[in-house]
Amino acid sequence: MQKNDPDLWQGELPRPAQDGHKYDRGHLIVLGGVDMTGAARLTSEAAMRIGCGVCTIVSAPECKDIYLKGAPHVLFEPYEQLRKFPLHLKDSRRTAFVMGPGAGQHEDEALRQAVLGAVATRKPAVLDADALNVFADYPERLFSALNEHCVLTPHEGEFARLFPDLDGSREKRAAAAARQSGAVVLLKGAQTVIATPQGDLVVNDHASPWLATAGAGDVLAGMVGGLMAQGMDVPMAAAAAVWMHGEAALRYGPGLTAPDIIQELRGVLADLL
């Protein structure tokens, strides 16, 4: 078990080449919800702030105007049907994806099929929130599809729904969940635990109580996805994002809201790169 610290991953942080272009820095695809549209917008903006070159929100056609009124540097594509979301990952320049923030559970089976199809591409993936909750009654369907390129980012409630039989310390439960699922597990909390299927454990207590605010998890999902889209090793991307998420919150201090984390990332990155 290791304590999360920049010494673990700072040397692996993506750095843009002087002669590079935006697609060299990765293209993240984010599934956008129909009702809670702010979540995907936070995820996308966090991904780009952390260095991802391009980000596209894919959502229902009726959401086009809402998403296009967001950050002008975030693109939008409509899906034909939710279950066909994986079709938007075919382009080889689309290097990672995030599913779950604000997704809702109005079309449970369609969302399950979308997640399973997307994971089957074996592109680096962050599965958060409702992308996990829809498998609460079907965990083996998810676990049989997951691979080492996936990061699950549950908080305690989501974790308990997906892994109801696990008990013990947070470290023990996260480690068992990673072995059981075959994916990297990022168990969020005041002390966040990152566990790999191979048994590696990183524990993070570099955080602020002000992170207990709506949208902070969506920002974290975007940070992890943005780093992976740039080619960073999956467990190291998770560890780096968690530490920088906490550092941004500590720098901002009282009164923090989710967009403030994104704004503070510029200074955090400047000190690390």
Q: Which residue positions form the known binding site for AMP?
A: 188-192, 217
CA-to-CA distance for 226 and 237, rounded, in angstroms?
9
**Positions at the binding site for (6S)-NADPHX:** 39, 102, 155, 218
Q: Using an 8 Å Cβ cutoff, are 41 and 214 in contact?
A: no
Which one, of 182, 139, 184, 179, lies nearest residue 158 by Cα? 139
CA 235 to chain centre: 12
Q: Using an 8 Å Cβ cutoff, are 169 and 198 in contact?
A: no
Q: Using an 8 Å Cβ cutoff, are 181 and 147 in contact?
A: no
Which one, of 87, 114, 104, 133, lies nearest residue 34 by Cα? 104
CA-to-CA distance for 33 and 4, rounded, in angstroms?
32
Which one, of 97, 124, 119, 83, lies nearest residue 222 by Cα? 97
**Positions at the binding site:** 39, 102, 155, 188-192, 217-218
